[in-house]
Structure 1
Amino acid sequence: MAAIKGVKKLPVSVNSRQAAELFMKLANISSEIGRLDEKFRRSILKSDLINTLALKESVQSTRIEGTQVTFTDMIEHSHKSEQKSEHIEVLNYQRALTVGQERILNGYPLTTRLILELHTTLMDGPARGTNIASGEFRKVPNWIGPTKRFEDAAYIPVPANEIEEYMNNWELFANKHPYGEKLETSHLPQEAFILDEDTHPLLKVAILHAQFESIHPFLDGNGRLGRILIALFMMQSKQISSPIFFVSEELEKQRSRYYHLLNETRGDNPNWFNWLNFFLDASKRMADKLNILLDNAEGLALNGLKKCDTHNQKQIYLLTFRYPNITANQVSEQFRIAPLTARRILNSLNELGLIFKDPAQKRNIEYFNYDLLDLLDH
């Protein structure tokens, strides 16, 4: 089968029946995400849990690309002085997500400039692809397929000399034109239902993700960066107040379908409905899962706090929701207390059964919040 070539510019369209089906699903999912955000804003965990959820997302997103690292690996290796390249890849993803979150909270929109900055962070150090044009759009052709041979390509992205033009179109769709001008729609079929820059943010983020992957502006890191942009656009569009809505876990479960449906949005006769329908379903499953996870994590934290006798115990116990594998040095630095004091409080939490330390360890002791890790593994 011949490779699909290129992608049409944004906006996109579906037929009227498909639009009705999408919008019926959308109302339910949007309210579920709103409920999740409201619940998160009232949670005692907030930023502590964000860090752990971001690490889990980083693992799931890099696994889509074929790495074998697991969430448990990352937790167990979090204090190792030397990290494997796959671990660095996950940590870079988490760092890029954090940088993006800070930029969005400070009012920076998703622009080409921010995307280049995030790519530089993503490709830092001895991780996969880091020797290949970090923070720069590709200047050579690229292709996507089951092998590295051009003959086996399933999709050939837009030529390198058209990337800036396509990314400018992407940016205008994401942020709208500063003077209210609408994007060109003459490339869309007549009688079609147009999903333009004013469409619902959840459909819009699905379109932006697929289009970014189709432009494929970098030689490496496109998939990972494209999934970071999902969480950041959900923040920018005020669907969520923190980067807690991640769909990589659901996409990773159906990796082959994910790639197939992305490919359907390309070429001269794109099918956007199947991809958008799939993305909404994945978003619904993820919103349901996150709502349950937050309820369970909140319940776990509240029950644990009841067992704590002192304010310091409570503070340090909550910190283990940010760092499920924690050391006395970490606690010492975080709260500016003596390492000996930190160790004593961690030991008291261990005696209360709230965290676990291996009694065989005598130096560089690590304390695990296994109750939280158990919740995150389901």
Structure 2
Amino acid sequence: MRREDLCHDVRQRLVRLPEPHHAHYGVVPLPPPEDAVPLGSVLARSEAANQALARVDALAAGLRDPYLLSRVLTRREAVSSAGIEGTNSTLDELLVVEETDDGGATAAAVQVRDYARALDRLIPCAQTQRTAIFTLDLVRHLHRSVMTGDAAYKDVPGDLRRVVVWIGGAGIAYSTFNPPPPAAVPACLDQNLEYLRNEGMQAMTQGILTRMAIGHAHFEAVHPFRDGNGRVGRLLLPLMMAAEGRVPLYLSPYIEAHKQAYYDALKAAQQRLEWHVLVGFLADAVVATVDELMETRRALAELRDIWLRRRTFRGGSAALRALDLLPHYPVITVNRLAKELGVTFRAADTAVQLLERAGILTERTGYRRNRLFTATEVLTVINRPFGAEPALPGSGSETD
């Protein structure tokens, strides 16, 4: 970490690190600012993001879908957030692991599954508890959720670090930023959580995007754990939105597609206190994510119409009702379908056979029992590269 990369106020927060890193210094971050943050050149981008948030809030108000669009979006968030840190799984692998509880799943798939399950559990809690959810227990729980499945992790998941860490570079001599020494972590994390609870002046002087940017950058600067900080920090972003009564957006797919810009924005905030740079990045992420969500929603509605043109389904039948379920469960078993629709196994099995004949579901195991089915066309829409146009099939036509 080079002193010349740090602004004056950050340099004033340098402290010598403990042995065996006594030749180096770490930064004890300033408490998150509660005053208004000048947005300057990113003001228009911030306003565009606020309009996008209002747009998606209005959409959510008219829907009964607790996932807004599909539970698969939280799974895509989990895959992307892990991928940013080099933990590589795929959406398809994750959905198979969740549906089969496969004991032979890779460690990466288990970590990603646990990340997604943490979102499932905690988003409703944030919506109910609001900003009171931001406690040390929450952060430790989030860390356990994303790191318990990592057999290579050297500490106890959820325990604050007791070692020196650094960000970037092959070693501390080549790092881009050195977080505070272990002894300073608890107090710094308390400051972060106090800020996230939004009980200070920032509630009146800063908008949601600014608070997200400052809270995220400060958390990553504290780096309270040996590893897994990025994933925990990105989990906090949708929780902040949910806690403030907004629709939680999942920004990791955008971040993964613009990873270098993300790192540059974090460095600007942490090294030079240029908060507006990260506000601008998150504003762009929000606008692009809302656009992507709307396009996905449109494509899935069109896909349902295509399916209905392929085959005529009896009104109220399990097969017809399944069409609305598949965007949530594009990898599914007969048992799952029966449970979600509240029908018998036999009725669900008949529905699956009809959906197979229509080319809507494809059996992927080749087994006679414990079969697994995939709505490949749904996965193609949801799992496309960020910003790409959805690829929709031709309709064809068939009737019972």
TM-score using structure 1 length: 0.84
Q: What are the equivalent positions in structure 2 for 1:291-330 lying under 5 Å apart?
A: 291-301=294-304, 304=307, 307-311=312-316, 312-330=318-336
Q: What are the equivalent positions in structure 2 for 1:33-182 lying under 5 Å apart?
A: 33-43=53-63, 45-47=65-67, 49-78=69-98, 79=100, 80-107=102-129, 108-124=132-148, 126-127=149-150, 130-147=153-170, 149-177=171-199, 182=201
* In 2, Cα distance between equivalents of 1:143 and 1:211: 15
* In 1, Cα distance between equivalents of 2:63 and 2:307: 15
* In 1, Cα distance between equivalents of 2:342 and 2:150: 33
**Cα contact 1:324–1:369 (8 A) shared by 2:** yes
Deviation at 1:22, TM superposition (A): 2.9
Evaluate the alpha carbon distance shift between residue 333 and residue 218 of structure 1 in structure 2; reply closer, same or farther with a 3 A threshold: same
- Aligned to 2:71, what secondary structure does the other structure show? helix
Residue identity in the other structure for 2:155: I
**Cα contact 1:96–1:121 (8 A) shared by 2:** yes
Evaluate the alpha carbon distance shift between residue 47 and residue 2 of structure 1 in structure 2; reply closer, same or farther with a 3 A threshold: closer
Evaluate the alpha carbon distance shift between residue 298 and residue 37 of structure 1 in structure 2; reply closer, same or farther with a 3 A threshold: farther
* Corresponding residue number in structure 2 for 1:237: 244
Between the aligned residues of both structures, percent identity stands at: 22
* In 2, Cα distance between equivalents of 1:237 and 1:48: 17
Work out which of the residue numbers 342, 353, 356 in structure 2 matches 1:350: 356
* Corresponding residue number in structure 2 for 1:22: 42
* Corresponding residue number in structure 2 for 1:227: 234
Q: Which runs of 5+ in 2 are unaligned?
A: 7-25, 385-400
Q: What are the equivalent positions in structure 2 for 1:257-276 lying under 5 Å apart?
A: 257-267=261-271, 269-276=272-279
* In 2, Cα distance between equivalents of 1:356 and 1:35: 36
- 2:371 paired with 1:365: yes
**Cα contact 2:217–2:270 (8 A) shared by 1:** no
* Corresponding residue number in structure 2 for 1:217: 224
**Cα contact 2:216–2:233 (8 A) shared by 1:** yes
Query: Greater RCO between the two (CA within 8 Å, min separation 6)?
Result: 1
Q: Deviations over 1:340-363 (max 9, x none)?
A: 332111111222333233595433
* In 2, Cα distance between equivalents of 1:123 and 1:173: 25
Work out which of the residue numbers 244, 250, 255 in structure 2 matches 1:246: 250
Corresponding pairs, count: 355
**Cα contact 2:79–2:88 (8 A) shared by 1:** no
Evaluate the alpha carbon distance shift between residue 354 and residue 55 of structure 1 in structure 2; reply closer, same or farther with a 3 A threshold: same
**Cα contact 1:14–1:273 (8 A) shared by 2:** no
**Cα contact 1:133–1:219 (8 A) shared by 2:** no
- Aligned to 1:266, what secondary structure does the other structure show? helix
Evaluate the alpha carbon distance shift between residue 206 and residue 359 of structure 1 in structure 2; reply closer, same or farther with a 3 A threshold: closer
Evaluate the alpha carbon distance shift between residue 367 and residue 153 of structure 1 in structure 2; reply closer, same or farther with a 3 A threshold: same
Deviation at 1:320, TM superposition (A): 1.8
* Corresponding residue number in structure 2 for 1:185: none
Deviation at 1:44, TM superposition (A): 6.5
Q: Which runs of 5+ in 1 are unaligned?
A: 183-194
* In 2, Cα distance between equivalents of 1:302 and 1:81: 37
Residue identity in the other structure for 1:235: A
- Aligned to 2:270, what secondary structure does the other structure show? coil
* In 1, Cα distance between equivalents of 2:86 and 2:163: 24
Deviation at 1:258, TM superposition (A): 1.6
Residues 54-63 or 353-362, more deviating: 353-362
Work out which of the residue numbers 256, 271, 283 in structure 1 matches 2:260: 256
